[in-house]
Amino acid sequence: MNRKHLVRWALIAMGIGVLGALLCQWLAPDQLIGFLIVSLFWNLLFAGVLLWIDRSIRTLSDQLMRVYSSRMSIDIREQQEGALSILKNDIYKLVRTFYEQRERSARDRLFLADTLNDISHQLKTPLTSMQMMGELLAQPLPDEKRQEFSGILLRQLERLQWLVTSLLKLSRLDACAITFQKQRIDVHSWILEALEPIQELLREKALQVHIDAGDCQIETDPRWSKEALLNILKNAAEHTPPKGTITIAARQTPLFLSLSVTDSGEGMDLEDQAHVFERFYRGKNAASDSVGIGMAMAKAILNAQQAEIQVHSTPGKGTCFTILFPSVSSTTA
């Protein structure tokens, strides 16, 4: 409300007052003075209300401009009743939503930048190695060296394919673009299927695997959950010394099924435990060719199915990863 509007309302009020005075002079001349006093009082009161509304709106507009210029976050809520208070409370909700979206957007941009940097770094290593092997293979070489370099090139290609496939899976999980097909499955059979891809690694290191799952059952997506468990088992096998042991145990409770994977490896300190599920994080004992995606993917897959994963480790005494699945009885209730 600007000065022009105030002048307009003042003129309208004066016009009404003059018209009322003329009517009062004609109909009841003895009441003219009283009418003028009452009219003046109401005009002054009306002007005060208009000025208060104008000041409130200007204050609210100034606060919104400060919000718009991102200079400060304000709290304009009021506990009083009235249309203006309702407007202020609604605007406050809008402002808070704006700030939350802006902060979320900033976090997403930072996460995307960090992820792109990590991806470019992870892709750079195998690509550089492949380029080097390609240049060597283009030169005259003895058959023994050619086979050696060809093997290195194939291994780097396999690593690159695995890395790209894993990144695509993580991006689908982040975008909630996966529909999990949950089924009731036998835990023991599921564990055996997850162990199949790492049988060669287990034989090479002569690792002993003990399974104690009884007749437990879970309700989950078999394919995706098997991949999560495979990453956990592969991590345990890689960090367990030759002739070590890996124990997989399942326990059923009325609320959840607990599945633990315990190895006899070198263990982790508290710092590594705090970051073990972060993507691209490589612990102090990580292998030279480790990417740091496996445990992050396992957590993402399990969390997307309302399952939790925890880690407990003591340096020099091994590591235990525990998965908590909702109980079959509780999920079907």
Whether the predicted pLDDT of 45 surpasses 50: yes
Q: How far apart are CA 33 and CA 65, in angstroms?
A: 48
Q: How far apart are CA 212 and CA 257, in angstroms?
A: 13
Q: Do domains 116-174 and 183-332 have the same CATH topology?
A: no
Residue 160's CB: how many other CB atoms inside 10 A?
17
Q: Do 250 and 212 meet the contact criterion of CB atoms below 8 Å apart?
A: yes
Q: How high is the pLDDT of residue 333?
A: 44
- Can you give the residue ranges of every domain in the chain? 3-74, 116-174, 183-332
pTM beyond cutoff 0.85: no
Q: How high is the pLDDT of residue 121?
A: 65
Backbone angles phi, psi at 246, to 5 degrees: -130, 125
**Mean pLDDT across the stretch 17-32?**
68
Whether the predicted pLDDT of 109 surpasses 70: yes
Q: How high is the pLDDT of residue 327?
A: 83
208 vs 12, higher pLDDT = 208
Whether the predicted pLDDT of 331 surpasses 50: no
121 vs 261, higher pLDDT = 261
Residue from 230, 215, 214, 217 nearest 183 by CA: 217
CATH topology of domain 116-174: Helix Hairpins (1.10.287)
Q: Which residue has the tokens 């995307």?
A: 112
Helix/strand/coil (H, E, C) string of the chain? Answer: CCHHHHHHHHHHHHHHHHHHHHHHHHHCHHHHHHHHHHHHHHHHHHHHHHHHHHHHHHHHHHHHHHHHCCCCCCCCCCCCCCHHHHHHHHHHHHHHHHHHHHHHHHHHHHHHHHHHHHHHHHHHHHHHHHHHHHHHHCCCCCHHHHHHHHHHHHHHHHHHHHHHHHHHHHHHHHCCCCCCCCEEEEHHHHHHHHHHHHHHHHHHCCCEEEEECCCCEEEECHHHHHHHHHHHHHHHHHCCCCCCEEEEEEEECCCEEEEEEEECCCCCCHHHHHHCCCCCCCCCCCCCCCCCCHHHHHHHHHHCCCCEEEEEECCCCCEEEEEEEECHHHHHC
Q: Is the dihedral of CA 207, 184, 256, 311 positive or negative?
A: positive
Q: How high is the pLDDT of residue 99?
A: 75
Residue 329 in tokens: 């009885």
Residue 314 in tokens: 């003591």
Q: How far apart are CA 113 and CA 122, in angstroms?
A: 14
Q: Is the dihedral of CA 219, 222, 224, 228 positive or negative?
A: positive
**Mean pLDDT across the stretch 186-192?**
95
Q: Does domain 183-332 have CATH number 3.30.565.10?
A: yes
* pLDDT tens, position by position, 265-301: 989 989 889 888 988 787 777 766 667 788 988 999 9
Residue 83 in tokens: 């249309």
Query: Which residues share a beta bridge with 124?
Result: none
Q: How high is the pLDDT of residue 332?
A: 47
Q: Which of 32-36, 84-88, 240-244 has the highest mean pLDDT?
A: 240-244
Backbone angles phi, psi at 309, to 5 degrees: -130, 135
Average pLDDT score, the chain:
80
Backbone angles phi, psi at 259, to 5 degrees: -120, 120
Q: Which of 14-18, 138-142, 256-260, 291-295 has the highest mean pLDDT?
A: 256-260
pLDDT band at residue 249, thresholds of 50, 70 and 90?
very high
